[in-house]
């Protein structure tokens, strides 16, 4: 069996530290379950690279990234270094567009001893996924293609674009994910989040959801309007498992859901396309704490676990899914036993110490 190849973009600020931490943990997990560690190809990119070289990614980097099995990204962007027009340095957005990374995955899980915002004891059971379409929706004209229609100083029009081809892929992905999660002990309930009572585009989104559902009769499905979903995420989040939605709704609700279970420190993220997946912590480069060994690497490490799970499917080698599960179990157990105590949650451990604690728990976990 050949080892998968992974393109590593460390980026800026704490992105560099949390990436280093992740690769050490990923390698240790692979060794533990007896599979070959990925072969890494590092590509330089980000605001720091732009400041030095005048381009935001090394020459040929975008193409070479696409030739690997997966991309791992630390964090990109620094407020002090921007393009002349004031926009941020963001080569990763081009990667998303170029490789059609339509399926944005944000797992939302209540880990033991991570900050808990809801008093209800059932909140400790929160374990769900926000699946956000990431290439079209309301972001299509603005962020992806910079095609907002501006009429002088009088009017601006943005377009909410929903296509059949992307929606079919997205909903198919959602049903497969729900099935997979049910096989692993979750409820596997799938909720289509939209505003089909008002928008034609959303009714179309839901229609394709229903068409796809015919192929997955075993998956329990439900519907929620986005406003009601926001309410339910605060009122009874433990009842949801997989929620699939348009880009902008996903942008908002994934942050809301992330806030319920401790904020950025545990927020892993994946963006998956037809040929490649990109994995990164949901947080940014955090320049306020860079170079101080204060960053919590757990969001990045959990993104590394998502990457291993993806590589298992992609390479047909289930050992990588075992490696992913070993990382998740180590994080869970380490937090529960208070062996992992990130400064971000008021603990005494910086990036290096948290990483060491994860490695120790990983080694001790059967």
Q: Could you list the residues that contact Mg ion (CB under 5 A)?
A: 284
Judged by CB under 6 A, the residue of 4, 344, 355, 358 near ligand ATP is: 344
Pick between residue 73 and residue 326 the one whose CB is nearest to ligand ATP. Answer: 73
Q: Is 91 in the site for ligand ATP (CB under 6 A)?
A: no
List 61, 250, 265, 304, residue binding ligand ATP (CB under 6 A): 265
Instruction: State which of residues 67, 227, 288, 336 lies at the interface with ligand ATP (CB under 6 A).
Output: 288
The sign of the dihedral angle between the CA atoms of 338, 321, 253, 120 is negative
- Name beta bridge partners: 225: 194
Residue 14 or 177 with smaller CB distance to ligand ATP: 14
Q: Which stretch binds ligand ATP (CB under 6 A): 178-186, 227-235, 289-297, 327-335?
A: 289-297
Q: Is 276 in the site for ligand ATP (CB under 6 A)?
A: no
Token readout for 353 is 């110490």
Say which entry of ligand ATP, Mg ion, none residue 68 contacts (CB below 5 to 8 A, set by partner kind).
none
Task: Return the one option of ligand ATP, Mg ion, none that residue 264 interacts with (CB less than 5 to 8 A, by type).
Answer: ligand ATP
Q: What are phi and psi of 244, to 5 degrees?
A: -115, 135
Span interacting with ligand ATP, options 160-168, 169-177, 286-294, 308-316, rule CB under 6 A: 286-294
According to DSSP H, which parts of the chain are helical? Answer: 14-33, 47-53, 61-66, 91-98, 139, 164-183, 200-213, 226-235, 247-260, 298-315, 319-336, 351-364
- Are the beta carbons of 76 and 45 closer than 8 angstroms? yes
Residue sitting closest to Mg ion (CB): 284
Least Å from the CB of residue 259 to ligand ATP: 12
In angstroms, rounded to a whole number, what is the distance separating the alpha carbons of residues 247 and 268? 17
Q: Which two tokens stand for residue 103?
A: 């399926």
Contact 249, 112 (CB under 8 A): no
Residue 95 or residue 242: which is nearer to Mg ion going by CB? 95
CB of 302 to ligand ATP, least distance (A): 11
**Options 286, 306, 323, 335; binder of ligand ATP; rule CB under 6 A:** 286
Q: Would you give the binding string for ligand ATP spanning residues 67-86, x where CB under 6 A is met?
A: ----------x---------
What does the alpha-carbon distance between residue 273 and residue 103 come to, in Å, rounded to a whole number? 6
Q: Which is nearer to ligand ATP, 16 or 202 (CB)?
A: 16
C-alpha to C-alpha distance for 247 and 1, rounded to whole angstroms: 37
Measured between alpha carbons, how far apart are the two ends of the chain, in Å? Answer: 24
Buried b / exposed e over 198-208, threshold 16 CB at 10 Å, is eeebbebbbeb
- Phi, psi torsion values for 101, nearest 5 degrees: -80, 80
Q: How far is the CB of 157 from ligand ATP (least distance, A)?
A: 26
224 near ligand ATP, judged by CB under 6 A: no
- Does 299 participate in binding ligand ATP (rule CB under 6 A)? yes
Closest separation in Å from C-beta 21 to ligand ATP: 10
Rounded CA-CA distance 141/160 in Å is 8
Query: To which residue do tokens 């990119």 refer?
Result: 45
Q: Which of 25, 114, 295, 330 binds ligand ATP (CB under 6 A)?
A: 295
Select from 11, 82, 8 the least CA-distant residue to 39.
8
Residue 285 binds ligand ATP, judged by CB under 6 A: yes
Tokens of 59: 């020459």
Q: Which residues bind ligand ATP (CB under 6 A)?
A: 14, 77, 264-265, 283-286, 288-289, 295-296, 299, 344
């Amino acid at each position: 069996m050949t080892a998968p190849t992974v393109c590593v973009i460390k980026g800026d600020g704490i992105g560099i530290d949390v990436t280093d931490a992740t690769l050490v943990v990923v390698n240790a997990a692979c060794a533990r379950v007896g599979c070959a560690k990925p072969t890494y190809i590092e590509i330089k990119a980000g605001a720091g690279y732009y400041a030095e070289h005048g381009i935001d990614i090394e020459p040929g980097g975008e193409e070479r990234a696409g030739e690997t099995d997966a991309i791992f990204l630390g964090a990109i962007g620094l407020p002090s270094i921007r393009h002349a027009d004031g926009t941020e340095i963001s080569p990763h957005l081009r990667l998303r567009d170029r490789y059609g990374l339509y399926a944005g995955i944000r797992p939302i899980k209540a880990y033991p001893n991570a900050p808990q915002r809801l008093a209800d004891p059932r909140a400790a059971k929160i374990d769900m996924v926000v699946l956000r379409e990431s290439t079209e929706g309301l972001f299509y004209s603005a962020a992806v293609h910079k095609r907002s229609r501006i009429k002088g100083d009088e009017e601006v029009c943005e377009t909410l674009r929903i296509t059949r081809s992307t929606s079919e892929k997205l909903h198919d992905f959602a049903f497969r994910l729900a099935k997979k999660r049910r096989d692993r002990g979750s409820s596997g309930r799938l909720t289509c989040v939209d505003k089909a009572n008002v928008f034609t585009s959303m009714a179309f989104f839901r229609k394709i959801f229903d068409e796809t559902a015919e192929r997955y009769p075993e998956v329990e499905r439900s519907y929620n309007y986005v406003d009601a979903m926001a309410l339910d995420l605060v009122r009874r989040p433990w009842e949801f498992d997989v929620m699939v939605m348009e880009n902008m709704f996903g942008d908002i609700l994934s942050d809301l859901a992330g806030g319920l279970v401790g904020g950025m420190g545990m927020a892993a993220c994946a963006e998956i396309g037809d040929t490649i997946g990109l994995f990164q912590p949901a947080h940014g480069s955090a320049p306020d704490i860079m170079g101080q060994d204060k960053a919590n690497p757990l969001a990045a490490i959990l993104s590394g676990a998502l990457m291993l799970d993806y590589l298992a499917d992609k390479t047909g080698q289930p050992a990588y899914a075992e490696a992913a599960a070993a990382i998740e179990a180590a994080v869970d157990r380490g937090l529960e036993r208070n062996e992992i105590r990130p400064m971000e949650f008021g603990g005494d451990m910086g990036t290096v110490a948290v990483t060491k604690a994860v490695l120790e728990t990983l080694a001790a976990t059967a």
